[in-house]
Amino acid sequence: MKYNYKTKPFQHQRDALNAGGLHMDYAYFMEMGTGKTKVAIDNAAFMKKNMWIDWVIVIAPNSVYRNWIDEIQKHSDTNVIHVHKDKSIYGDMIRHPERALKWFLINVEALSHKSGVEKLKSLLTRKNCRHLMILDESTTIKNRSAKRTRNICKLGKLANYRRILTGSPITKSPLDLYTQCEFLSPQLLGFDSFFTFRARYAVMQQIEMGGRQMLFPKYYTNLDELTDKLKTFSFRVRKKDCLDLPDKLYTVRKIDLTAKQQEVYNRLKKFAYATINQDEVSFANKLTEILRLHQVANGFVKADDGTINVFDDCPKLKELMEILEDTEGKFIIWANYVQNIKTIINKLKEKYGADSVVSIFGEVSTEDRQQAVSKFQNDSSCRFFVGNPSTGGYGLTLTSASYVVYFSNSYNLEVREQSEDRAHRIGQDKNVTYIDLIAENTIDEFIVSALDKKLKLSAETLGEEVKKWLN
Protein backbone atom coordinates (compact mmCIF):
# COMPACT_ATOMS: atom_id res chain seq x y z
CA MET A 1 0.00 0.00 0.00
CA LYS A 2 1.48 3.33 -1.08
CA TYR A 3 1.61 5.72 1.85
CA ASN A 4 4.22 8.23 2.99
CA TYR A 5 4.86 7.58 6.66
CA LYS A 6 5.82 10.54 8.83
CA THR A 7 7.63 8.24 11.28
CA LYS A 8 9.32 5.05 10.14
CA PRO A 9 7.22 1.96 10.89
CA PHE A 10 8.32 -1.50 11.90
CA GLN A 11 7.53 -4.19 9.36
CA HIS A 12 4.62 -5.52 11.41
CA GLN A 13 3.12 -2.02 11.44
CA ARG A 14 3.37 -1.88 7.65
CA ASP A 15 1.70 -5.28 7.50
CA ALA A 16 -1.06 -4.08 9.81
CA LEU A 17 -1.85 -1.06 7.63
CA ASN A 18 -1.75 -3.16 4.47
CA ALA A 19 -4.16 -5.63 6.06
CA GLY A 20 -6.68 -3.19 7.50
CA GLY A 21 -6.34 0.09 5.65
CA LEU A 22 -9.00 -0.61 3.01
CA HIS A 23 -11.66 -2.17 5.24
CA MET A 24 -14.81 -0.44 6.44
CA ASP A 25 -14.59 -2.32 9.73
CA TYR A 26 -11.40 -3.76 11.17
CA ALA A 27 -9.81 -4.92 14.40
CA TYR A 28 -6.17 -4.42 15.35
CA PHE A 29 -5.47 -7.10 17.97
CA MET A 30 -1.93 -5.97 18.65
CA GLU A 31 -0.23 -6.87 21.90
CA MET A 32 0.72 -4.09 24.28
CA GLY A 33 3.90 -2.37 23.21
CA THR A 34 3.69 -3.21 19.50
CA GLY A 35 2.55 0.27 18.48
CA LYS A 36 -1.13 -0.17 17.66
CA THR A 37 -1.82 3.55 18.21
CA LYS A 38 0.63 4.48 15.44
CA VAL A 39 -1.00 1.94 13.14
CA ALA A 40 -4.43 3.47 13.77
CA ILE A 41 -3.10 7.00 13.15
CA ASP A 42 -1.42 5.91 9.91
CA ASN A 43 -4.66 4.19 8.89
CA ALA A 44 -6.60 7.42 9.44
CA ALA A 45 -4.05 9.54 7.56
CA PHE A 46 -4.11 7.06 4.66
CA MET A 47 -7.90 7.29 4.50
CA LYS A 48 -7.74 11.09 4.56
CA LYS A 49 -5.17 11.10 1.74
CA ASN A 50 -7.60 9.05 -0.33
CA MET A 51 -10.40 11.48 0.59
CA TRP A 52 -12.47 8.86 2.42
CA ILE A 53 -12.85 10.71 5.73
CA ASP A 54 -12.97 14.20 7.21
CA TRP A 55 -13.04 13.38 10.90
CA VAL A 56 -11.50 10.78 13.19
CA ILE A 57 -13.27 10.06 16.47
CA VAL A 58 -11.18 8.32 19.12
CA ILE A 59 -12.86 6.75 22.15
CA ALA A 60 -10.33 5.74 24.77
CA PRO A 61 -10.05 5.11 28.53
CA ASN A 62 -9.76 8.23 30.64
CA SER A 63 -6.19 7.43 31.60
CA VAL A 64 -4.89 7.47 28.00
CA TYR A 65 -7.14 9.44 25.69
CA ARG A 66 -5.13 12.65 26.06
CA ASN A 67 -1.99 10.66 25.27
CA TRP A 68 -3.43 10.42 21.77
CA ILE A 69 -2.68 14.12 21.25
CA ASP A 70 1.06 13.52 21.53
CA GLU A 71 0.86 10.42 19.33
CA ILE A 72 -1.17 12.17 16.62
CA GLN A 73 1.26 15.08 16.49
CA LYS A 74 4.19 12.67 16.39
CA HIS A 75 2.96 10.38 13.62
CA SER A 76 0.92 12.62 11.27
CA ASP A 77 0.74 16.08 9.70
CA THR A 78 -1.82 18.87 9.24
CA ASN A 79 -4.19 17.91 12.02
CA VAL A 80 -6.78 19.78 14.06
CA ILE A 81 -7.35 18.14 17.44
CA HIS A 82 -10.29 18.61 19.81
CA VAL A 83 -11.17 16.94 23.08
CA HIS A 84 -14.73 16.35 24.19
CA LYS A 85 -14.78 19.23 26.69
CA ASP A 86 -14.08 21.80 23.97
CA LYS A 87 -17.03 24.20 23.67
CA SER A 88 -16.92 24.20 19.88
CA ILE A 89 -15.62 21.56 17.52
CA TYR A 90 -16.62 23.13 14.21
CA GLY A 91 -14.56 26.32 13.90
CA ASP A 92 -11.49 24.67 12.42
CA MET A 93 -13.66 22.64 10.11
CA ILE A 94 -14.99 25.83 8.56
CA ARG A 95 -11.56 27.42 8.28
CA HIS A 96 -9.83 24.30 6.96
CA PRO A 97 -12.51 22.21 5.23
CA GLU A 98 -10.13 20.22 3.08
CA ARG A 99 -6.56 20.62 4.22
CA ALA A 100 -6.73 19.27 7.74
CA LEU A 101 -7.77 15.94 9.14
CA LYS A 102 -9.90 16.69 12.16
CA TRP A 103 -9.63 14.60 15.33
CA PHE A 104 -12.15 14.43 18.15
CA LEU A 105 -11.01 12.68 21.34
CA ILE A 106 -13.43 11.52 24.01
CA ASN A 107 -12.94 9.30 27.04
CA VAL A 108 -15.02 6.16 27.20
CA GLU A 109 -16.42 7.07 30.62
CA ALA A 110 -18.09 10.19 29.14
CA LEU A 111 -20.29 7.97 27.00
CA SER A 112 -22.07 6.66 30.07
CA HIS A 113 -23.68 10.10 30.27
CA LYS A 114 -26.23 11.87 28.11
CA SER A 115 -24.07 14.98 27.54
CA GLY A 116 -21.19 12.96 26.06
CA VAL A 117 -23.53 10.92 23.88
CA GLU A 118 -25.34 13.99 22.56
CA LYS A 119 -22.13 15.83 21.70
CA LEU A 120 -20.73 12.88 19.79
CA LYS A 121 -24.04 12.26 18.06
CA SER A 122 -24.17 15.89 16.89
CA LEU A 123 -20.78 15.43 15.20
CA LEU A 124 -21.68 12.10 13.62
CA THR A 125 -24.94 13.38 12.14
CA ARG A 126 -23.47 16.55 10.62
CA LYS A 127 -24.12 16.64 6.87
CA ASN A 128 -21.35 16.04 4.37
CA CYS A 129 -18.92 14.71 6.98
CA ARG A 130 -17.36 11.28 6.79
CA HIS A 131 -16.08 9.69 9.98
CA LEU A 132 -13.66 7.03 11.11
CA MET A 133 -14.45 5.93 14.68
CA ILE A 134 -11.62 4.27 16.63
CA LEU A 135 -12.35 2.44 19.88
CA ASP A 136 -9.11 2.09 21.86
CA GLU A 137 -8.88 -0.71 24.45
CA SER A 138 -12.09 -2.17 23.11
CA THR A 139 -12.53 -4.56 26.05
CA THR A 140 -14.03 -1.55 27.86
CA ILE A 141 -17.29 -2.50 26.08
CA LYS A 142 -17.17 -6.26 26.68
CA ASN A 143 -20.07 -5.98 29.15
CA ARG A 144 -23.07 -5.95 26.83
CA SER A 145 -25.47 -4.76 29.55
CA ALA A 146 -23.43 -1.68 30.50
CA LYS A 147 -24.94 1.66 29.53
CA ARG A 148 -21.78 2.91 27.83
CA THR A 149 -21.55 -0.30 25.79
CA ARG A 150 -25.05 0.19 24.45
CA ASN A 151 -24.37 3.87 23.75
CA ILE A 152 -21.08 3.25 21.94
CA CYS A 153 -22.52 0.47 19.77
CA LYS A 154 -25.43 2.74 18.72
CA LEU A 155 -23.07 5.62 17.94
CA GLY A 156 -20.78 3.31 16.00
CA LYS A 157 -23.58 2.65 13.51
CA LEU A 158 -23.52 6.36 12.58
CA ALA A 159 -19.83 6.29 11.58
CA ASN A 160 -18.72 5.51 8.03
CA TYR A 161 -15.74 3.42 9.14
CA ARG A 162 -14.80 1.73 12.40
CA ARG A 163 -11.66 0.33 14.07
CA ILE A 164 -11.11 -1.40 17.40
CA LEU A 165 -7.75 -1.64 19.15
CA THR A 166 -6.73 -4.01 21.92
CA GLY A 167 -3.91 -6.34 22.80
CA SER A 168 -6.19 -8.78 24.63
CA PRO A 169 -9.65 -9.04 23.04
CA ILE A 170 -10.48 -11.94 25.36
CA THR A 171 -9.95 -11.12 29.05
CA LYS A 172 -12.27 -13.65 30.70
CA SER A 173 -13.98 -15.72 28.02
CA PRO A 174 -14.54 -15.89 24.23
CA LEU A 175 -17.93 -14.31 24.89
CA ASP A 176 -16.07 -11.03 25.49
CA LEU A 177 -15.76 -10.75 21.72
CA TYR A 178 -19.41 -10.26 20.92
CA THR A 179 -19.94 -6.58 21.75
CA GLN A 180 -16.52 -5.60 20.39
CA CYS A 181 -17.43 -7.15 17.05
CA GLU A 182 -20.97 -5.79 17.25
CA PHE A 183 -19.50 -2.28 17.46
CA LEU A 184 -17.69 -2.90 14.17
CA SER A 185 -20.67 -4.52 12.45
CA PRO A 186 -23.33 -6.98 13.67
CA GLN A 187 -22.85 -8.96 10.45
CA LEU A 188 -19.17 -9.75 10.90
CA LEU A 189 -19.69 -12.82 13.09
CA GLY A 190 -22.92 -13.85 11.38
CA PHE A 191 -25.25 -13.83 14.42
CA ASP A 192 -28.37 -11.75 14.96
CA SER A 193 -28.08 -11.73 18.77
CA PHE A 194 -25.74 -12.42 21.66
CA PHE A 195 -27.78 -15.46 22.62
CA THR A 196 -27.33 -17.20 19.28
CA PHE A 197 -23.63 -16.35 19.45
CA ARG A 198 -23.40 -17.80 22.96
CA ALA A 199 -25.31 -20.93 21.96
CA ARG A 200 -22.74 -21.61 19.23
CA TYR A 201 -19.58 -21.11 21.27
CA ALA A 202 -20.45 -21.88 24.90
CA VAL A 203 -22.22 -24.66 26.78
CA MET A 204 -23.97 -23.08 29.74
CA GLN A 205 -24.89 -24.43 33.18
CA GLN A 206 -27.05 -23.10 35.99
CA ILE A 207 -25.32 -22.27 39.29
CA GLU A 208 -27.05 -21.09 42.44
CA MET A 209 -25.48 -17.91 43.86
CA GLY A 210 -27.03 -15.98 46.74
CA GLY A 211 -30.31 -17.84 46.37
CA ARG A 212 -30.55 -17.09 42.65
CA GLN A 213 -30.11 -19.37 39.66
CA MET A 214 -27.51 -17.93 37.30
CA LEU A 215 -26.04 -19.12 34.00
CA PHE A 216 -22.28 -19.60 33.65
CA PRO A 217 -20.22 -21.17 30.84
CA LYS A 218 -19.43 -24.80 31.55
CA TYR A 219 -17.04 -25.04 28.60
CA TYR A 220 -16.48 -23.46 25.19
CA THR A 221 -16.85 -25.08 21.79
CA ASN A 222 -16.31 -24.43 18.07
CA LEU A 223 -13.48 -22.02 18.89
CA ASP A 224 -11.48 -22.90 15.76
CA GLU A 225 -14.44 -21.70 13.74
CA LEU A 226 -14.58 -18.46 15.75
CA THR A 227 -10.85 -17.90 15.22
CA ASP A 228 -11.26 -18.33 11.45
CA LYS A 229 -14.07 -15.76 11.40
CA LEU A 230 -11.96 -13.25 13.33
CA LYS A 231 -9.09 -13.61 10.84
CA THR A 232 -11.26 -12.17 8.06
CA PHE A 233 -11.46 -8.75 9.72
CA SER A 234 -8.54 -8.53 12.14
CA PHE A 235 -4.76 -8.32 12.35
CA ARG A 236 -3.06 -10.14 15.23
CA VAL A 237 0.51 -9.60 16.37
CA ARG A 238 2.47 -10.41 19.54
CA LYS A 239 5.65 -8.75 20.74
CA LYS A 240 7.61 -11.97 20.73
CA ASP A 241 6.87 -12.42 17.04
CA CYS A 242 7.80 -8.96 15.79
CA LEU A 243 10.03 -7.03 18.21
CA ASP A 244 13.57 -7.60 19.36
CA LEU A 245 12.95 -6.23 22.83
CA PRO A 246 15.28 -6.71 25.79
CA ASP A 247 14.46 -9.40 28.32
CA LYS A 248 11.99 -9.30 31.16
CA LEU A 249 13.62 -10.35 34.43
CA TYR A 250 11.61 -11.37 37.48
CA THR A 251 12.59 -11.48 41.12
CA VAL A 252 10.81 -11.77 44.45
CA ARG A 253 11.63 -10.03 47.72
CA LYS A 254 9.94 -11.72 50.67
CA ILE A 255 9.29 -9.97 53.95
CA ASP A 256 7.94 -11.02 57.34
CA LEU A 257 4.98 -9.34 58.99
CA THR A 258 5.55 -7.52 62.25
CA ALA A 259 4.27 -9.23 65.38
CA LYS A 260 1.25 -6.91 65.47
CA GLN A 261 0.48 -7.49 61.78
CA GLN A 262 0.74 -11.25 62.26
CA GLU A 263 -1.61 -11.15 65.24
CA VAL A 264 -4.27 -9.23 63.32
CA TYR A 265 -3.72 -11.31 60.17
CA ASN A 266 -4.22 -14.62 62.02
CA ARG A 267 -7.44 -13.36 63.62
CA LEU A 268 -8.85 -12.10 60.30
CA LYS A 269 -7.76 -15.28 58.52
CA LYS A 270 -9.93 -17.42 60.83
CA PHE A 271 -12.88 -15.09 60.31
CA ALA A 272 -12.35 -15.06 56.52
CA TYR A 273 -12.33 -18.87 56.37
CA ALA A 274 -15.53 -19.10 58.38
CA THR A 275 -17.19 -16.45 56.19
CA ILE A 276 -16.20 -18.12 52.90
CA ASN A 277 -17.65 -21.43 54.15
CA GLN A 278 -21.10 -19.91 54.61
CA ASP A 279 -23.21 -20.43 51.49
CA GLU A 280 -25.72 -17.75 52.46
CA VAL A 281 -23.03 -15.04 52.63
CA SER A 282 -22.76 -12.96 49.44
CA PHE A 283 -19.66 -13.05 47.28
CA ALA A 284 -19.15 -9.34 47.95
CA ASN A 285 -18.90 -10.00 51.69
CA LYS A 286 -16.54 -12.90 51.12
CA LEU A 287 -14.35 -10.71 48.94
CA THR A 288 -14.30 -8.02 51.64
CA GLU A 289 -12.74 -10.45 54.12
CA ILE A 290 -10.12 -11.54 51.58
CA LEU A 291 -9.26 -7.92 50.81
CA ARG A 292 -8.79 -7.23 54.52
CA LEU A 293 -6.15 -9.94 54.66
CA HIS A 294 -4.45 -8.34 51.67
CA GLN A 295 -4.57 -4.93 53.33
CA VAL A 296 -2.94 -6.25 56.50
CA ALA A 297 -0.13 -7.76 54.42
CA ASN A 298 0.36 -4.28 52.95
CA GLY A 299 0.55 -2.41 56.25
CA PHE A 300 -2.98 -1.24 57.07
CA VAL A 301 -6.57 -2.40 57.50
CA LYS A 302 -9.87 -0.62 56.90
CA ALA A 303 -12.59 -1.18 59.49
CA ASP A 304 -16.33 -1.45 58.79
CA ASP A 305 -16.85 2.19 59.82
CA GLY A 306 -14.28 3.37 57.27
CA THR A 307 -11.52 3.99 59.80
CA ILE A 308 -8.06 3.13 58.47
CA ASN A 309 -5.64 1.60 60.97
CA VAL A 310 -2.00 1.82 59.86
CA PHE A 311 0.61 -0.55 61.28
CA ASP A 312 3.87 0.98 62.47
CA ASP A 313 7.13 0.06 60.74
CA CYS A 314 5.59 -1.50 57.61
CA PRO A 315 8.13 -4.15 56.45
CA LYS A 316 7.15 -3.75 52.78
CA LEU A 317 7.81 -0.03 52.87
CA LYS A 318 11.21 -0.59 54.51
CA GLU A 319 12.11 -3.19 51.86
CA LEU A 320 11.03 -0.86 49.06
CA MET A 321 13.18 2.00 50.36
CA GLU A 322 16.18 -0.32 50.67
CA ILE A 323 15.75 -1.47 47.07
CA LEU A 324 15.59 2.11 45.82
CA GLU A 325 18.64 3.14 47.82
CA ASP A 326 20.71 0.21 46.57
CA THR A 327 19.68 0.44 42.89
CA GLU A 328 20.33 3.12 40.28
CA GLY A 329 17.87 3.98 37.54
CA LYS A 330 14.21 4.88 37.20
CA PHE A 331 11.42 2.92 38.90
CA ILE A 332 7.75 2.32 38.34
CA ILE A 333 6.08 1.42 41.64
CA TRP A 334 2.62 -0.12 41.46
CA ALA A 335 0.38 -0.37 44.51
CA ASN A 336 -3.20 -1.57 44.69
CA TYR A 337 -4.42 0.74 47.48
CA VAL A 338 -4.57 4.53 47.72
CA GLN A 339 -3.37 4.31 51.32
CA ASN A 340 -0.13 2.67 50.15
CA ILE A 341 0.29 5.02 47.18
CA LYS A 342 0.07 8.14 49.31
CA THR A 343 2.43 6.71 51.94
CA ILE A 344 5.00 5.78 49.28
CA ILE A 345 4.78 9.21 47.61
CA ASN A 346 5.29 11.01 50.92
CA LYS A 347 8.24 8.80 51.82
CA LEU A 348 9.92 9.36 48.44
CA LYS A 349 9.42 13.13 48.59
CA GLU A 350 10.84 13.18 52.11
CA LYS A 351 13.96 11.25 51.12
CA TYR A 352 14.57 12.27 47.48
CA GLY A 353 12.74 15.59 47.08
CA ALA A 354 9.38 16.67 45.65
CA ASP A 355 10.63 16.66 42.04
CA SER A 356 11.77 13.04 42.25
CA VAL A 357 8.30 11.50 42.00
CA VAL A 358 5.15 11.68 39.89
CA SER A 359 1.98 9.69 40.32
CA ILE A 360 -1.16 8.50 38.60
CA PHE A 361 -4.12 7.17 40.58
CA GLY A 362 -7.80 7.98 40.94
CA GLU A 363 -7.34 11.41 42.52
CA VAL A 364 -5.01 12.71 39.78
CA SER A 365 -6.69 14.74 37.01
CA THR A 366 -6.43 13.74 33.36
CA GLU A 367 -4.30 16.80 32.55
CA ASP A 368 -1.90 16.10 35.42
CA ARG A 369 -1.58 12.47 34.35
CA GLN A 370 -0.16 13.39 30.96
CA GLN A 371 2.23 15.87 32.55
CA ALA A 372 3.34 13.17 34.95
CA VAL A 373 4.15 10.78 32.11
CA SER A 374 6.08 13.46 30.22
CA LYS A 375 8.10 14.43 33.27
CA PHE A 376 8.96 10.85 34.12
CA GLN A 377 10.01 10.11 30.55
CA ASN A 378 12.04 13.27 29.93
CA ASP A 379 13.22 14.76 33.24
CA SER A 380 16.35 13.12 34.66
CA SER A 381 15.57 14.47 38.14
CA CYS A 382 12.26 12.56 38.20
CA ARG A 383 13.20 9.03 39.22
CA PHE A 384 9.96 7.47 40.48
CA PHE A 385 6.53 6.85 38.99
CA VAL A 386 3.96 5.68 41.57
CA GLY A 387 0.54 4.51 40.52
CA ASN A 388 -2.41 2.20 40.78
CA PRO A 389 -2.10 -0.41 38.01
CA SER A 390 -5.87 -0.38 37.43
CA THR A 391 -5.69 3.37 36.70
CA GLY A 392 -2.22 4.00 35.28
CA GLY A 393 -1.44 0.56 33.91
CA TYR A 394 -3.17 1.08 30.54
CA GLY A 395 -1.96 2.86 27.42
CA LEU A 396 0.99 4.73 28.93
CA THR A 397 4.57 4.64 27.68
CA LEU A 398 7.03 4.57 30.58
CA THR A 399 10.12 3.20 28.84
CA SER A 400 12.57 5.33 30.82
CA ALA A 401 12.08 2.86 33.66
CA SER A 402 14.24 -0.22 33.89
CA TYR A 403 12.70 -1.45 37.18
CA VAL A 404 9.08 -2.14 38.06
CA VAL A 405 8.15 -2.85 41.68
CA TYR A 406 4.82 -4.39 42.66
CA PHE A 407 4.26 -3.19 46.22
CA SER A 408 0.97 -5.07 45.97
CA ASN A 409 -0.75 -6.92 43.15
CA SER A 410 -4.22 -6.76 41.69
CA TYR A 411 -6.22 -9.96 41.45
CA ASN A 412 -6.81 -9.17 37.78
CA LEU A 413 -4.45 -10.90 35.34
CA GLU A 414 -5.16 -8.37 32.59
CA VAL A 415 -4.22 -5.50 34.93
CA ARG A 416 -0.92 -7.22 35.75
CA GLU A 417 -0.05 -7.86 32.11
CA GLN A 418 -1.01 -4.34 31.04
CA SER A 419 0.98 -2.70 33.83
CA GLU A 420 4.08 -4.82 33.07
CA ASP A 421 4.13 -3.58 29.52
CA ARG A 422 4.17 0.12 30.33
CA ALA A 423 7.97 -0.27 30.48
CA HIS A 424 8.45 -3.23 28.13
CA ARG A 425 7.39 -1.87 24.74
CA ILE A 426 8.70 -0.10 21.65
CA GLY A 427 11.40 2.33 22.73
CA GLN A 428 12.79 0.20 25.53
CA ASP A 429 16.50 -0.58 25.08
CA LYS A 430 17.25 -2.00 28.54
CA ASN A 431 16.31 -5.19 30.33
CA VAL A 432 13.35 -4.58 32.60
CA THR A 433 13.43 -6.10 36.08
CA TYR A 434 10.14 -6.82 37.84
CA ILE A 435 10.24 -7.06 41.61
CA ASP A 436 7.32 -8.50 43.60
CA LEU A 437 7.25 -7.60 47.29
CA ILE A 438 5.57 -10.51 49.04
CA ALA A 439 4.60 -10.86 52.67
CA GLU A 440 5.52 -14.48 53.40
CA ASN A 441 2.77 -16.94 54.38
CA THR A 442 0.01 -14.49 53.48
CA ILE A 443 -2.58 -14.01 50.73
CA ASP A 444 0.20 -12.25 48.79
CA GLU A 445 1.70 -15.63 47.95
CA PHE A 446 -1.57 -16.98 46.61
CA ILE A 447 -2.16 -13.96 44.39
CA VAL A 448 1.32 -13.91 42.86
CA SER A 449 1.29 -17.69 42.39
CA ALA A 450 -2.02 -17.46 40.53
CA LEU A 451 -0.72 -14.64 38.33
CA ASP A 452 2.46 -16.60 37.58
CA LYS A 453 0.31 -19.51 36.43
CA LYS A 454 -1.73 -17.13 34.22
CA LEU A 455 -4.86 -17.94 36.24
CA LYS A 456 -7.79 -15.59 35.99
CA LEU A 457 -9.05 -15.02 39.51
CA SER A 458 -12.76 -15.24 38.93
CA ALA A 459 -15.47 -15.24 41.56
CA GLU A 460 -15.29 -19.02 41.73
CA THR A 461 -11.51 -18.90 42.18
CA LEU A 462 -11.69 -16.37 44.94
CA GLY A 463 -14.28 -18.54 46.63
CA GLU A 464 -13.15 -22.13 46.36
CA GLU A 465 -9.42 -21.76 45.70
CA VAL A 466 -8.85 -19.20 48.44
CA LYS A 467 -10.83 -21.40 50.83
CA LYS A 468 -8.40 -24.25 50.13
CA TRP A 469 -5.46 -21.95 50.60
CA LEU A 470 -6.74 -20.52 53.89
CA ASN A 471 -7.41 -23.95 55.36
The string of pLDDT tens digits covering residues 399-444 is 999 999 999 988 777 888 888 989 988 888 888 999 999 998 898 8
Q: How many CA atoms lie within 13 A of 281 on its CB side?
A: 15
pLDDT of 471 strictly over 90: no
pTM: 0.68
Structural domains in the chain, CATH included, are 11-241 (3.40.50.10810), 248-470 (3.40.50.300)
User: Averaged over 123-152, what is the pLDDT?
Assistant: 93
The answer to whether residues 75 and 41 touch, using CB atoms and an 8 Å cutoff, is yes
Query: pLDDT confidence of 264, banded at 50, 70, 90?
Result: very high
Cα separations in angstroms, 342 against 73, 300, 401, 470: 34, 13, 20, 30
309-318, 389-398, 448-457: which has the highest mean pLDDT? 309-318
User: Averaged over 346-360, what is the pLDDT?
Assistant: 95
- Phi then psi for 185, rounded to 5 degrees? -170, 130
Which pLDDT does position 161 carry in this prediction?
97
Cα torsion angle, 348, 398, 252, 338, sign: positive
Rounded Cα–Cα distance for residues 294 and 292 (Å): 5
pLDDT of 466 strictly over 60: no
Q: How many CA atoms lie within 13 A of 33 on its CB side?
A: 25
The answer to whether residues 330 and 402 touch, using CB atoms and an 8 Å cutoff, is yes
Which pLDDT does position 306 carry in this prediction?
80
Query: pLDDT confidence of 395, banded at 50, 70, 90?
Result: confident
Which pLDDT does position 7 carry in this prediction?
92
User: Averaged over 218-239, what is the pLDDT?
Assistant: 93
When the pLDDT of each residue in the chain is averaged and rounded to a whole number, the result is 87
Q: How many CA atoms lie within 13 A of 458 on its CB side?
A: 8
For a pLDDT cut of 90, what percent of the chain falls above it?
Answer: 53
Query: pLDDT confidence of 282, banded at 50, 70, 90?
Result: low
Which pLDDT does position 357 carry in this prediction?
97
Which pLDDT does position 42 carry in this prediction?
96
